[in-house]
Amino acid sequence: MNRFKVSICQMSVSNEKQKNLSTASDMIKMSAAEGANLVILPEMFICPYDLELFQDYSENYPEGETLRMLSKIARNEKIYLVGGSLPERQGKRIYNSSFIFDPQGEVIGKHRKIHLFDSNLDKDVCFKESEVISSGDTITVVNTAHGPIGVAICYDLRFPEIFRLMSLSGAILAVVPAAFNDITGPAHWEMLLRSRAVDNQFYLAGASPARYQTKSLTIYGHSMLVDPWGEVIAKAGEEEQLVIGEIFPDRLTEIRDKLPLLKHRRTDLYDVYNK
């Protein structure tokens, strides 16, 4: 596998869906012009992260407006595209879903957020995603010409088991569209991204929107790309920008040869995935 370039679109998100789609389209095209082979959008990039908005902004697969746009632009720019996430409507249920497209514009995978963010961070920040969103039940790894890529969404990042399963499935990169807030972000965002990368000896890409205020939360920003040694190789601040870095598959081999922790697992003593 040869090296390839990744671009994370840390885009501004507004209340206007068409404006958000235009921003996403522009940033994807800029990423492709910079030579990106894989482009990543953030969590809930078509609407602010307010639970009361998800129903109105939700789309059906495959005929949703956003999905058609993402398919077309992936095909036109000849890129792999992780379409952040959006509210996916299926019957009476809504899922927080990430659709992954290949350079022909075909959907090659879909991840529905497994772990729902129900929290009481302080007296002013209470968020219960499960009141609106249904949880997924599949760990997602898609095959690409660059190698297998895992996809998870936001709160999934706090559960190391699914990233270990991605790694054991051959993933060289895990992608996490997310919208951490200004309480959890400074405390845990970089720590979790670096930890998951080190634990599993693969690359980790965290894709956030640019900083903005919702009804309940302030979104943190700080998208970043981390290598298998835990080094941050590209990072954003709070503003809208592209975060671009390269993935070197040989880097995984080098690190796993130096520190073969995946081979050293004592599966005779623990079997956490089948309980």
Structural domain includes residue 269: no
Residue 252's CATH number: 3.60.110.10
Each residue's pLDDT tens digit, 186-231: 999 999 999 999 999 999 999 999 999 988 789 999 999 999 999 9
Structural domain includes residue 267: no
Single out the residue of 91, 11, 8 nearest to residue 47, CA to CA: 11
Each residue's pLDDT tens digit, 126-185: 678 999 999 999 999 999 999 999 999 999 999 999 999 999 999 999 999 999 999 999
CA dihedral over 71, 74, 77, 78, signed as positive or negative: negative
Structural domain includes residue 275: no
Domain that holds residue 174: 4-258
> What is this structure's pTM?
0.96
Cβ pair 256, 238 in contact under 8 A: no
List active site positions.
43, 113, 154
Q: Give the chain's length.
A: 275
Structural domain includes residue 263: no
DSSP annotation of 210: P
Rounded distance between C-alpha atoms, residue 203 and residue 200, angstroms: 9
Token readout for 271 is 């079997």
Query: Mean of the pLDDT values across residues 244-272?
Result: 92
pLDDT at 270: 84
Structural domain includes residue 108: yes
As for how many domains the chain has, the answer is 1
